Amino acid sequence: MKWALGIVGLLVVGLVFHLNLLVYAMYVLGGALLLGRFLARTWTENLVARRTTVENVCEIGGAIAMSVELENRGRLSVPWILLEDSLPRPARPDLRPRVQVEGPWVALTRLAPGETETVFEYHVKFLQRGYYQFGPLLVETGDVFGLHRRYRLLTEPQFVLVLPKVLPLQGYNLASRRPIGEIRVAHRLFEDPTRLAGVRPFQQGDPLNRIHWRATARTGQLHSRVYENSRVAGATFLLDFHQQNFPGPLGANSAELAIVTVAALANAVFLQGRQLGLVTNGRDAADRVREEGWAGEFLNRTLARQQAAAPGENTRLRPVIVPTRKSADSLLRLLQTLGRLEPTDGLDFAALLREAAAQLPRDATVVAVFSRVTPEMALALGELVRQGFLVAAIVVTFGAEALPDWAKPPEWAEILLAQGINFHIVNSEDAVTNLCAQALIR
């Protein structure tokens, strides 16, 4: 726009004072400006990028290869193209890096008509769990004089889910059936007559419809059927992931330690064949993905890079829930949810319990995992206890010293004990591995 105004102004001056050489120069410059604008728009519209398909699920420490191809589908050569791929960046500069990238993700190239070129290839190693976005590809080109430039976002972003670490638990005993304390069933476990578990000798009081007549005829003694229970015990994990409760770099470490704690305990419950579920006030990263607006043109590089990032708001007023069920993929679904989980400023823990209390099964232990205890949180957990739930609490404080048994409990511990809630302190991954041993040896 500034160039156009300058050309028009000088052209008017040349026409008024009959400066023919100046008028001719402005005609040439104006024509070059219009031609450059036309070529830049044509070049960007004819560029097509393709990203190779990579694994969409990975583990911590795993690596993937990412490559991008660029094709010129136009009839004109593109003299220069500057490309930059969008990579995951930490939420705050004071946090440790989440990925390690080897190889270039910025390239400068040129393409002839119909030519296809692999512009760059790099390897990414994942250092932490998360939901990582790669792309879109930022493309910049323009006329050879640098008078006009165009920016465009190409290729749809690709997302890679990195699952949280699952630690083995020391002292874990399958026969004990107590990975996180005694499991109390508030309601009677009804038997399912459609699921035969076995046959046993007849006992006084067995109804006639329970008698297994084939086994009775074969052995000459009365035998009764034994059915499987229609409901099973397990655990529902309540994870507090409110951003206010994890301030600073140590808070970020505590948040990751809370994820590791839930993953380890969920794995222990799953190995027992019990039901498990998750309720949290964090936000699923998949909810913030916005696909519209990625492909488009921009007037400057800053606007294009901001559009590629598209952070979105971090508030959430609905809990993330993995229903408490017994199934073959229950652990995988829970780990995938933990991998995508992000802190939020929306729903606090007390409001989370009010929202999700009606969906908590009474035949599963409620395991609350949080970093900061407030009277409101303790009262909300105490209300679950008074409703007949068995509640256990795990306080995650990264780097804090674990209190010995004889130490005077802090104020937050007295608040939990006043509500009849037993708690454990987790300050490191070693404490997580010994968590079940502490609960089993009583």
Domain boundaries, the chain: 47-163, 198-229, 234-282+319-440
Residue 85 has pLDDT above 80, yes or no: yes
Residue 214 has pLDDT above 70, yes or no: yes
Based on its alpha-carbon atoms, the radius of gyration of the chain, rounded to whole angstroms, reads 32
Highest mean pLDDT among 307-311, 425-429, 432-436: 425-429
User: Would you say 86 and 135 are in contact if contact means Cβ atoms under 8 Å apart?
Assistant: yes
Whole-number Å distance between alpha carbons of 249 and 96: 9
What pLDDT, on the 0 to 100 scale, is given for residue 108? 92
What pLDDT, on the 0 to 100 scale, is given for residue 239? 96
Residue 416 has pLDDT above 50, yes or no: yes
Whole-number Å distance between alpha carbons of 277 and 333: 9
Residue 165 has pLDDT above 70, yes or no: yes
Packing angle, helices 375-386 and 411-418, rounded to 10: 20
What pLDDT, on the 0 to 100 scale, is given for residue 158? 87
Whole-number Å distance between alpha carbons of 353 and 382: 11
Residue 314 has pLDDT above 60, yes or no: no
Average pLDDT in the chain: 81
What pLDDT, on the 0 to 100 scale, is given for residue 310? 55
User: Would you say 363 and 185 are in contact if contact means Cβ atoms under 8 Å apart?
Assistant: yes
Q: Which CATH superfamily is domain 234-282+319-440 in?
A: von Willebrand factor, type A domain (3.40.50.410)
Of 118-122, 150-154, 159-163, minimum mean pLDDT range: 150-154
Whole-number Å distance between alpha carbons of 166 and 172: 14
Beta bridge partners, 298, equal 151
* Residue-by-residue DSSP string for 49-113: EEE----SEEETT-EEEEEEEEEE-SSS-EEEEEEEE-----SSTTSPPSEEEES-SEEEEEE-T
Whole-number Å distance between alpha carbons of 323 and 147: 58
What pLDDT, on the 0 to 100 scale, is given for residue 195? 62
pLDDT band at 192 (very low <50, low <70, confident <90, very high): low
Of 126-140, 294-308, 356-370, 411-425, minimum mean pLDDT range: 294-308
Amino acid at 386: R
State what percent of residues in the chain have pLDDT above 70.
Answer: 79
Q: Is 58 exposed, middle or buried (0-12, 13-18, 19+ CB in 10 A)?
A: buried
Selected residue with higher pLDDT from 29 and 355: 355
Average pLDDT over residues 346-367: 87
Whole-number Å distance between alpha carbons of 427 and 258: 10
Other Cβ atoms less than 10 A from the Cβ of 209: the count is: 8
pLDDT band at 90 (very low <50, low <70, confident <90, very high): low
Residue 262 has pLDDT above 80, yes or no: yes
- Please state which CATH class domain 47-163 belongs to: mainly beta
Which residue from 360, 380, 376, 381 is spatially nearest to 423, judged by alpha carbons?
A: 381
Whole-number Å distance between alpha carbons of 129 and 1: 47
What pLDDT, on the 0 to 100 scale, is given for residue 168? 84
Whole-number Å distance between alpha carbons of 97 and 297: 31
Selected residue with higher pLDDT from 176 and 345: 345
Residue 182 has pLDDT above 90, yes or no: no
Average pLDDT over residues 31-48: 84
Q: Where are the alpha helices (DSSP H) in 359-440?
A: 375-386, 411-418, 429-433, 435-440
Residue 184 has pLDDT above 50, yes or no: no
What pLDDT, on the 0 to 100 scale, is given for residue 258? 95
Other Cβ atoms less than 10 A from the Cβ of 251: the count is: 17
Residue 94 has pLDDT above 60, yes or no: no
Highest mean pLDDT among 19-28, 31-40, 106-115, 296-305: 106-115
Phi/psi of residue 380, nearest 5 degrees: -65, -40
Query: Where would I find the beta strands (DSSP E) of 347-433?
Result: 364-370, 391-396, 422-426
Residue 334 has pLDDT above 90, yes or no: yes
pLDDT band at 173 (very low <50, low <70, confident <90, very high): very low
Average pLDDT over residues 23-46: 81
- Strands 297-298 and 391-396, by their bridges, are unpaired
What pLDDT, on the 0 to 100 scale, is given for residue 295? 44
Of 111-120, 254-263, 306-315, minimum mean pLDDT range: 306-315
| Digit-coded pLDDT (tens) for 101-138 | 999 988 999 999 999 999 989 999 999 999 998 888 88
